């Protein structure tokens, strides 16, 4: 319940935060704190320096950016869930945000903090992968944009470099596509046992393209390439068969609540449900 | 933790609206509620308070956050305690190094077994003939035997410092292979306690009738093996202890979140070797217990020990991880059961073997719980012959003990599952086989094959009502339709009876009576002292309703005092659905004694006969001549004109010894849908008809049933304490241990029947555990019923989606091959 | 190291010098002496510690006091206004939405947030039972089985809507 002691800094700019991050090997960034603080309270994380991003102005927003919607890294799940702009331009992310944790968690937790933590059962990664989102990271050497597909690299790990922090997430507008996020909640933690995000484009009664992001199954969220390919040019009747390949080639994780085999099975079931819902959403 | 008010250096005062205004606001609302209830006045007389949906007197302080639980207590100079606990299931302690912890900032003391070995041990009240009671020291001595066993106690100026220092206590462990599986443990040679030289803690047999003959006469025999999984009680308030020792006065005060303040007082005195006369136990507000605080724990001795050693108050608040690892668990039985049946469904005989996983050490009632399973195993049925063998097994886990229902949910699960399996085997409707084996209403008091006597009952009536309310035939039609469409819809019943109002002292390990004191104060207000110290049940309200009726006053005129051994005569506590039936009765009889005395005084003053004295609407007397209640009270205290032989004062105490348990009963009906694709279960409808005898306050009875049902449903579907093969606790936080949340449980439709108990004058039975006892088998019966077309007969709890999905997969594979 | 912070709690400013690791819930309980906010788990799940931070429900066990520096917090002790209970408090009492009372302050704060921010409540309607149940997903009660808590929130919603309409009229 009680974190170990640490030094604390609350920089007022991203540049200061980056400088602080480089000043210590045992520094951690504090965004909403809903991944990090629970770990610190159980003393599973004991950073020497905590850099609180909460005092940096201008990191919380949802705004139009050309064909994309840009979100500040410190935007809370609640703001994402309730955003009218996302509802009209790219509703999938809001839909995923609404299924994160509970009201209190959504009021504090941030998208930047969540994806940097890269919990294998988190909800956003599935949506960001399906959307082909981009993550904007800034470090001492400047800013770079990381495609979501290249961002999640393993269990609690990303391709962020040390000294980098996330400033923005960009998701494309999904006008013309149907989207859905179907989630099997862990009854205790509320995390995804399996979560499937789908972006489906239809043309003359057949699936033109499908992008499917899956969380909860493997050590990090992934794009279900085999299922996506199997869905192209298929009518509704072929969806179940195609979605049975949702976890093809995936090294699944298992625990006392859900074995690897069961998670792979659920991936197929929830993939089908997500794709069907996405198609219905479009119709 | 370096938190001081910068201005004063002291904790800042409470910030809230002025007391007076807040005190007035709830009063208004209370009056509204009461006004509504008052509408049904007849003949100008208020109807009795008993039986009304009277709003709780406890609530105004609780909804404003201005009551005090143990962790809310602050005493000058108070120190904080953090325990160092074993990370191992089983290990030899090779050494403990406390130097670094002792020199950590703010640390005042670090205690280990070397400091506490001269103290007494944690008590066990079990008295079975062959019971092995291994030494249960307050801090681990030589070995640790379960994850979470306390090894050292760190005392520091503040909580954060104590927690930091606890990290610095270095314990050298030589890990040993853990004893985890109770069935293997019985046969194995790796012993949890080398001194016992066996993992078998005790055996207990209940045998009645010619069992072998019953089985040889049977048309059919149904057999099953059930696992009744281990559960964590998880009261929302964890345990907490504050202790203060005043060396001058030599008085030790212990505030503890407990269900049994008086028993704790005795045990603390014994463990610490302090005269009991100098020990006072106070229960502050207690945030739930469910049996887990019906105990005496190591920490309840170590914290007072530290306070005595240091001469300063010490507080310990249990963390949730400690709570799941080191507060007692419930259930954890493996059952082998056989039922001998005639073709028409008559149950001729029953054989059961109960293997109870006790954990590493006995807590207060650990070995007693599974014997209660044997006592109730025949459920609400006439069974010709019974043999039930119970064996208690030591394993490297936390102790099991009383958790809501305590042994009876296991029994009800066994018999209600077996009856369903029998119905299936004999192709009978589950309701019909039950009806055929119920005792008839004229057969009460009904002597069971287990040797107890059910006080009163009408099981068929409750079942009939429940089936009607649920629309049983419609549910069956819906099921047929679902099956046709390849969907899985099921209906489950549980017709239960349970043992409440614990209990006659002859059947209890440490007294089954309860005390009640009623004192009419000089101002005419009434103070009640009850030994049945509550922790959410609402006795401050229900007991006030009872007493208000006796004296013709209002519940607001009556204040219920509990949970302070310095104020309240010795009592037993609140558990086993006993508070109203035993504690309430003690108070009721004490009140009648005081009333009789007041009647004598009033009659003397009025020149009337005492028998003619009526207490109503604040007056005492007859229709023609009466005195104000306060006038009679005044006469008793001023004492200048008392009838001959009548002593001054208005106070009476009664110690009520019940002649029997009481036996509430009822029927729960559940319908559910199983998603065959994922194994997910959705409860569609939940109907409960319960009979707990006469009801003091229907609002509170319904609350008890709601909460009870959810705990039982949650056992069926979600909850499970899991130790892995190394004895590591896998479900150590609420991230893994599945507590039911609002959206995960259904709404309930409740009705009651009323069959008063002849055991006590109020005709009450008890309702605290009924919902939990009834609901678990109803849910499992419904799920197994849904899956009937697949040939699935049983799935062990909890019915987690993967387990259900696997059972379906296997059944389909078997059908295909 | 310590840091000087100030937090406005129920309208009253509290200043203290605290370790950065001090949790907001401990600031409320130990510094401000407001023990109505309870601690029920270590893993940000049970919701017993729920308070309003800048008007939104948060779990005060998962916020550092330093993060709340300069912010305003409402705890259960500050919910009653001008001597009158909040409709949610009344609802819990009238519908028997509590037994042991330990989860109650957090549950009440979460319910108040729900009735402030739920789409149904914002539209002047009473949230449906499912919306209420899901809205309370961050709070655990072991006693009530939730049925009367749902009834309490429903009753409070109706009461608040009636009052809003009365004010509007």
3-class SS string, B631-659: HHHHHHHHCCCCCCCCCCCCEEEEEECCC
Instruction: With a cut of 70, list the residues of chain A below it in pLDDT.
Output: 282-283
Nearest to B13 by CA among C31, C67, A276: C31
By C-alpha distance, the chain B residue nearest C143 is B707
CA distance C104 to chain B (A): 6
* CA atoms of B162 and B146, how far apart (whole Å): 23
Burial class (CB in 10 A: 0-12, 13-18, 19+), B604: middle
Domain count, chain A: 3
Q: Does residue B670 register a pLDDT over 50? A: yes
How many percent of chain B have pLDDT more than 70? 94
Cβ-Cβ pairs closer than 8 A, B with C, add up to: 256
Domain membership of residue C17 as a residue range: 3-77
> Is C82 part of any domain?
no
Cis bond upstream, residue B284 (ω within 30):
no
Same domain, residue pair A165 and A187: no
CA A232 from chain centre, in angstroms, equals 25
Q: Which residues on C lie below 8 Å from B159 (Cβ)?
A: 26
Answer whether B237's CB lies under 8 Å from B62's CB: no
The two three-digit tokens of residue B720, written as one number: 């499970």
DSSP bridge partners of B112:
B152
Instruction: List, in order, residues 6 or more apart from B768 with CB less than 8 Å away.
Output: B404, B500, B537, B576, B577, B579, B704, B708
Chains touching chain B through at least 3 C-beta pairs below 8 angstroms are A, C
- Can you say whether the dihedral through the CA atoms of B442, B445, B447, B453 is positive or negative? positive
Asked if B68's CB is within 8 angstroms of C98's CB, the reply is: no
**Residues B302-361: pLDDT tens digits?**
999 999 999 999 999 999 999 999 999 999 999 999 999 999 999 999 999 999 999 999
The two three-digit tokens of residue B729, written as one number: 């606790």
Same domain, residue pair A184 and A270: yes
Q: What is the DSSP string of B241-275?
A: EEEEEETTTTEEEEEE--S-HHHHHHHHHHHHT--
Same domain, residue pair A75 and A148: yes
Q: Does residue B18 register a pLDDT over 60? A: no
CA distance A203 to chain B (A): 29
What mean pLDDT is predicted for residues B68-84?
Answer: 98
Residue C53's CATH number: 3.10.20.30
Same domain, residue pair A150 and A80: yes
Same domain, residue pair C101 and C137: yes
Answer whether B347's CB lies under 8 Å from B382's CB: yes
Chains touching chain C through at least 3 C-beta pairs below 8 angstroms are A, B
**Residues B164-192: pLDDT tens digits?**
999 999 999 999 999 999 999 999 999 99
Q: Which residues on A lie below 8 Å from C55 (Cβ)?
A: none
Same domain, residue pair C93 and C161: yes
Nearest to B3 by CA among C27, C60, C49, C72: C27
> Is A44 part of any domain?
yes
Residue B817's pLDDT band (cuts 50, 70, 90): confident
Instruction: List, in order, residues 6 or more apart from B758 with CB less than 8 Å away.
Output: B445, B455, B456
* CA atoms of B390 and B209, how far apart (whole Å): 18
User: A157-164 contacts: CB < 8 A, separation 24 or more?
Assistant: A157/A118, A157/A220, A158/A115, A158/A116, A158/A118, A160/A116, A161/A137, A162/A21, A163/A18, A163/A21, A163/A22, A163/A139, A164/A18, A164/A21, A164/A137, A164/A138, A164/A139
Q: What is the pLDDT of residue B682?
A: 98
Task: Return the H-helix or E-strand segment holding B431.
Answer: helix B430-437
φ/ψ (deg, to 5) at B760: -135, 160
- Can you say whether the dihedral through the CA atoms of B149, B152, B156, B160 is positive or negative? negative
Same domain, residue pair C63 and C97: no
The two three-digit tokens of residue B522, written as one number: 């000089």
Same domain, residue pair A188 and A260: yes
Asked if A256's CB is within 8 angstroms of B731's CB, the reply is: yes
A42 in reach of chain B (CB within 8 A): yes
Residue B503's pLDDT band (cuts 50, 70, 90): confident
What mean pLDDT is predicted for residues B126-150?
Answer: 96
Q: What is the pLDDT of residue B161?
A: 98
Q: What is the pLDDT of residue B46?
A: 64
Q: What is the pLDDT of residue B16?
A: 30
CA A174 from chain centre, in angstroms, equals 17
The two three-digit tokens of residue B303, written as one number: 């914290």
Q: Which residues on B lie below 8 Å from C110 (Cβ)?
A: none
What mean pLDDT is predicted for residues B108-117?
Answer: 98
Burial class (CB in 10 A: 0-12, 13-18, 19+), A31: buried
Instruction: List, in order, residues 6 or more apart from A101 with CB less than 8 Å away.
Output: A34, A77, A109, A190, C138
For residue B581, CA distances in Å to B516, B658, C143 come to: 12, 9, 21
> Is A66 part of any domain?
yes
Q: Which domains does chain B have, with CATH numbers?
A: 455-497+662-817 (3.30.365.10), 505-656 (3.30.365.10)
Q: What is the pLDDT of residue B80?
A: 98
CA distance B19 to chain C (A): 9
Asked if B741's CB is within 8 angstroms of C136's CB, the reply is: yes
Average pLDDT over chain B, rounded to whole? 94
Q: What is the pLDDT of residue B133?
A: 97
For residue A95, CA distances in Å to A56, A65, A87, C79 come to: 27, 20, 9, 32
Asked if A105's CB is within 8 angstroms of C67's CB, the reply is: no
* CA atoms of B711 and B689, how far apart (whole Å): 17
What mean pLDDT is predicted for residues B252-264?
Answer: 98
By C-alpha distance, the chain B residue nearest A255 is B730
DSSP bridge partners of A138:
A143, A165
- Position of tokens 């509704």? A236
Residue B40's pLDDT band (cuts 50, 70, 90): very low
Domain membership of residue A204 as a residue range: 178-282
* CA atoms of B775 and B717, how far apart (whole Å): 11
By C-alpha distance, the chain C residue nearest B31 is C94
Output Rg (C-alpha) for chain C, integer angstroms.
16
Same domain, residue pair C73 and C94: no
Q: What is the pLDDT of residue C121?
A: 82
Same domain, residue pair A259 and A202: yes
Residue C119's CATH number: 1.10.150.120
B416-445: buried (b, 16+ CB within 10 Å) or exposed (e) per residue?
bbbbbbbbbbbebebbebbbebbbeeeebe
Nearest to B242 by CA among B295, B154, B314, B312: B314
**Residues B763-773: pLDDT tens digits?**
999 999 999 99
Same domain, residue pair A152 and A92: yes
Q: What is the DSSP string of chain A?
A: --PPP-EEE--SSHHHHHHHHHH-TTEEEESS-TTHHHHHHTTS---SEEEEGGG-TT---EEEETTEEEEETT-BHHHHHH-HHHHHH-HHHHHHHHTSS-HHHHHH-BHHHHHHHT-TT-SHHHHHHHHT-EEEEEETTEEEEEEHHHHEEETTEESPPTT-EEEEEEEE--TTSEEEEEEEE-TTT--EEEEEEEEEEEETTEEEEEEEEEESSSSS-EE-HHHHHHHTT--GGGHHHHHTTTTTT------SSS-HHHHHHHHHHHHHHHHHHHHHHH-
Same domain, residue pair C54 and C102: no
Q: What is the DSSP string of B550-584?
A: HHT--GGGEEEEESBTTTS-----S-TT-IIIIII
Q: Which residues on C lie below 8 Å from B16 (Cβ)?
A: 10, 34, 77-78, 80
Same domain, residue pair A78 and A142: yes
Answer whether B430's CB lies under 8 Å from B479's CB: no
Same domain, residue pair A184 and A257: yes
Q: Kind of pairing, strands A222-223 and B220-231? A: unpaired
φ/ψ (deg, to 5) at A139: -135, -170
Answer whether B107's CB lies under 8 Å from B161's CB: yes
Asked if C105's CB is within 8 angstroms of B68's CB, the reply is: no
Same domain, residue pair A250 and A227: yes
Show which of A23, A39, A55 is a domain's final residue.
A55
Other CB atoms within a 10 A radius of the CB of residue C56 amount to 17
Residue A190's CATH number: 3.30.390.50
Identify the DSSP state of B102: H
Other CB atoms within a 10 A radius of the CB of residue B112 amount to 21
Q: Where are the beta strands (DSSP E) in B753-816?
A: none
Same domain, residue pair C73 and C136: no
> Is C9 part of any domain?
yes
DSSP SS3 for B790: helix
Count CA atoms within 13 Å of residue B707 on its CB side.
31
Same domain, residue pair C103 and C121: yes
* CA atoms of B56 and B149, how far apart (whole Å): 39
DSSP SS3 for B424: helix
Other CB atoms within a 10 A radius of the CB of residue B330 amount to 29
Domain count, chain C: 2
Residue B31's pLDDT band (cuts 50, 70, 90): very low
**Residues B414-439: pLDDT tens digits?**
999 999 999 999 999 999 999 999 99
By C-alpha distance, the chain C residue nearest B733 is C43
Q: What is the pLDDT of residue B508?
A: 87
Output Rg (C-alpha) for chain A, integer angstroms.
19
C151 in reach of chain B (CB within 8 A): no
Same domain, residue pair C73 and C92: no
Same domain, residue pair C67 and C97: no
Answer whether B764's CB lies under 8 Å from B692's CB: yes
Asked if C19's CB is within 8 angstroms of B1's CB, the reply is: yes
Answer whether C25's CB lies under 8 Å from C53's CB: no
> Is A1 part of any domain?
no
C162 in reach of chain B (CB within 8 A): no
Show which of C16, C43, C77 is a domain's final residue.
C77
> Is C131 part of any domain?
yes
Same domain, residue pair A99 and A143: yes
Residue A120's CATH number: 3.30.465.10
By C-alpha distance, the chain A residue nearest C114 is A103
> Is C44 part of any domain?
yes
**Residues B379-395: pLDDT tens digits?**
999 999 999 999 999 99
Q: Which of C1, C42, C114 is closest, CB to CB, to A41? A: C42
CA C117 from chain centre, in angstroms, equals 13
Q: Which of B678, B730, B805 is closest, CB to CB, to A256? A: B730
């Amino acid at each position: 319940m009680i974190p170990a002691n640490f030094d604390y800094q609350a920089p007022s700019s991203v540049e200061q935060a980056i400088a602080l991050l480089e000043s210590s090997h045992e520094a951690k960034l504090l965004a909403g704190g809903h991944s990090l603080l629970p770990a610190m309270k159980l003393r599973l994380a004991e950073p020497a320096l905590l850099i609180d991003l909460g005092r940096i102005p201008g990191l919380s927003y949802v705004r139009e950016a050309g064909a994309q919607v840009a979100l500040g890294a410190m935007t809370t799940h609640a703001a994402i869930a309730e955003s009218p702009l996302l509802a009209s331009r790219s509703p999938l992310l809001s839909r995923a945000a609404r299924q994160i944790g509970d009201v209190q968690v959504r009021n504090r937790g941030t998208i930047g903090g969540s994806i940097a933590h890269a919990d294998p059962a988190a909800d956003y990664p599935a949506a960001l992968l399906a959307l082909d989102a981009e993550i904007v990271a800034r470090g001492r050497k400047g800013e770079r944009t990381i495609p979501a597909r290249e961002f999640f690299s393993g269990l609690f790990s990303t391709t962020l470099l040390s000294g980098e922090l996330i400033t923005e997430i960009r998701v494309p507008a999904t006008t013309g596509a149907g989207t859905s996020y179907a989630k099997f909640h862990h009854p205790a933690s509320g995390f995804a046992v399996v979560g499937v995000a789908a972006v489906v484009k239809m043309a003359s009664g057949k699936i033109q393209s499908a992008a499917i992001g899956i969380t909860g199954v493997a050590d990090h969220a992934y794009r279900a390439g085999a299922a996506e390919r199997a869905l192209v040019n298929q009518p509704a009747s072929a969806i179940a068969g195609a979605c049975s390949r949702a976890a093809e080639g995936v090294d699944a994780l298992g625990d006392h609540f859900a074995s690897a085999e069961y998670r792979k099975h659920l991936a197929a079931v929830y993939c089908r449900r997500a794709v069907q819902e996405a198609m219905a959403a479009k119709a | 933790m370096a938190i001081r008010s910068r201005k004063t250096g002291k904790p800042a005062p409470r910030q809230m609206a002025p007391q007076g205004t807040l005190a007035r606001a709830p009063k208004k609302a209370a009056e509204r509620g009461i006004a509504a209830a008052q509408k049904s006045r007849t003949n100008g007389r208020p109807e009795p308070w008993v039986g009304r949906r009277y709003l709780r007197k406890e609530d105004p302080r609780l909804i404003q956050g201005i009551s005090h639980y143990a962790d809310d207590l602050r005493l000058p100079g108070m120190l904080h305690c953090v325990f160092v606990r074993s990370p191992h299931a089983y290990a030899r302690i090779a050494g403990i190094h406390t130097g670094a912890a002792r020199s950590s900032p703010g640390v005042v003391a670090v205690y280990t077994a070397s400091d506490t070995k001269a103290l007494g041990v944690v008590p066990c009240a079990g008295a079975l003939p062959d019971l092995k009671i291994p030494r249960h020291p307050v801090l681990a001595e030589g070995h640790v035997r379960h994850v979470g066993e306390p090894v050292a106690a760190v005392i520091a100026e503040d909580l954060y410092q104590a927690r930091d220092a606890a990290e610095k206590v270095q314990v050298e462990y030589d890990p040993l292979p853990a004893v985890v599986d109770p069935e293997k443990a019985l046969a194995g040679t790796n012993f949890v306690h080398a001194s016992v030289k066996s993992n078998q803690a005790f055996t207990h047999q209940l045998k009645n009738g010619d069992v072998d003959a019953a089985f040889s006469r049977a048309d059919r025999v149904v057999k099953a093996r059930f696992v009744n999984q281990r559960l964590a009680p998880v009261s929302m308030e964890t345990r907490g202890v504050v202790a203060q020792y005043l060396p001058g006065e030599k008085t030790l005060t212990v505030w503890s979140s407990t269900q049994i303040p008086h028993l704790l007082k005795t045990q603390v005195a014994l463990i610490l070797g302090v005269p009991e006369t100098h020990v006072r136990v106070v229960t502050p507000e207690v945030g739930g217990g469910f049996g887990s605080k019906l105990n005496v724990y190591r920490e309840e001795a170590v914290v007072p020990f530290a306070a005595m050693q240091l001469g300063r108050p010490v507080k310990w608040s249990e963390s949730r991880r400690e709570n799941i690892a080191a507060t007692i668990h419930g259930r954890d039985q493996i059952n082998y059961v056989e039922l001998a049946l005639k073709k028409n469904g008559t149950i001729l005989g029953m054989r059961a073997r109960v293997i109870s996983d006790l954990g590493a050490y006995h807590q207060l009632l650990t070995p007693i719980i599974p014997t209660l399973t044997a006592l109730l195993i025949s459920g609400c049925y006439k069974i010709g012959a019974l043999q039930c063998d119970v064996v208690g097994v030591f394993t490297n886990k936390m102790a099991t003990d009383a958790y809501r229902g305590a042994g009876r949910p296991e029994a009800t699960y066994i018999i209600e599952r077996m009856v369903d399996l029998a119905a299936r085997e004999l192709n009978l409707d589950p309701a019909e086989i039950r009806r055929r084996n119920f005792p008839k209403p004229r057969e009460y008091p009904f002597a069971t094959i287990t040797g107890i006597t059910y006080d009163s009952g009408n099981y068929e009536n409750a079942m009939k009502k429940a089936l009607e309310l649920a629309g049983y035939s419609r549910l069956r039609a819906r099921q047929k339709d679902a099956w046709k469409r390849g969907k899985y819809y099921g209906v489950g019943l549980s017709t239960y009876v349970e043992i409440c109002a614990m209990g006659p002292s002859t059947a209890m390990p440490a007294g089954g009576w309860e005390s009640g004191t009623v004192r009419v104060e000089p101002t005419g207000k009434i103070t009640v002292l009850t030994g049945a110290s509550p922790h959410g049940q609402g006795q401050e309200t229900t007991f006030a309703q009872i007493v208000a009726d006796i004296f013709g006053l209002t519940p607001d005129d009556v204040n219920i005092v509990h949970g302070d051994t310095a104020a309240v005569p010795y009592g037993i506590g609140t558990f086993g659905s006993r508070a109203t039936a035993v504690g309430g009765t003690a108070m009721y009889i004490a009140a009648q004694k005081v009333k009789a005395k007041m009647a004598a005084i009033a009659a003397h003053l009025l020149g009337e006969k005492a028998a003619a004295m009526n207490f109503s609407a604040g007056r005492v007397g007859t229709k023609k001549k009466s005195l104000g209640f306060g006038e009679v009270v005044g006469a008793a205290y001023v004492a200048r004109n008392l009838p001959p032989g009548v002593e001054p004062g208005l106070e009476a105490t009664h110690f009520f010894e019940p002649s029997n348990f009481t036996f509430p009963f009822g029927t729960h009906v559940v319908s559910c849908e199983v998603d065959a694709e994922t194994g997910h279960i959705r409860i569609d409808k939940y109907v409960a008809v319960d009979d707990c005898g006469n009801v003091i306050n229907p609002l509170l009875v319904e609350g008890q049933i709601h909460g009870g049902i959810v705990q039982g449903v949650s056992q069926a579907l979600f909850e499970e304490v899991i130790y892995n093969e190394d004895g590591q606790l896998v479900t150590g936080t609420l991230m893994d241990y599945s507590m039911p949340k609002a959206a995960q449980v259904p709404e309930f439709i409740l009705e009651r029947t009323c069959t008063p108990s002849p055991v006590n004058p109020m005709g009450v039975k008890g309702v605290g555990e009924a919902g939990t006892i009834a609901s678990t088998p109803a849910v499992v019966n419904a799920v197994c019923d849904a899956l009937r077309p697949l040939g699935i007969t049983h799935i062990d709890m909890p019915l987690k989606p993967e387990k259900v999905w696997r059972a379906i997969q296997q059944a389909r594979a078997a059908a295909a091959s | 190291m310590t840091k000087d912070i100030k937090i406005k709690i129920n309208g009253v400013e509290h200043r203290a010098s605290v370790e950065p690791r001090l949790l907001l819930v401990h600031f409320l309980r130990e510094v401000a002496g407001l023990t109505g906010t309870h601690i029920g788990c270590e893993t940000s799940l049970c919701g017993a510690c729920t308070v309003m931070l800048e008007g939104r429900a948060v779990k005060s066990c998962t916020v550092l006091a330093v993060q709340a520096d300069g912010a305003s917090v409402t705890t259960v002790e500050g919910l009653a206004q001008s001597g009158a209970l909040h409709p949610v408090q009344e609802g819990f009492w009238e519908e028997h939405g509590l037994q042991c009372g330990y989860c109650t302050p957090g549950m009440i704060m979460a319910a108040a947030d729900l009735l402030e921010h739920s789409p149904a409540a914002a539209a002047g309607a009473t949230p449906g039972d499912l919306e209420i149940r899901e809205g309370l997903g961050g709070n655990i009660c072991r006693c009530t089985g939730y049925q009367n808590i749902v009834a309490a929130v429903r009753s409070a919603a109706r009461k608040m809507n009636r009052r809003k309409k009365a004010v509007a009229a």
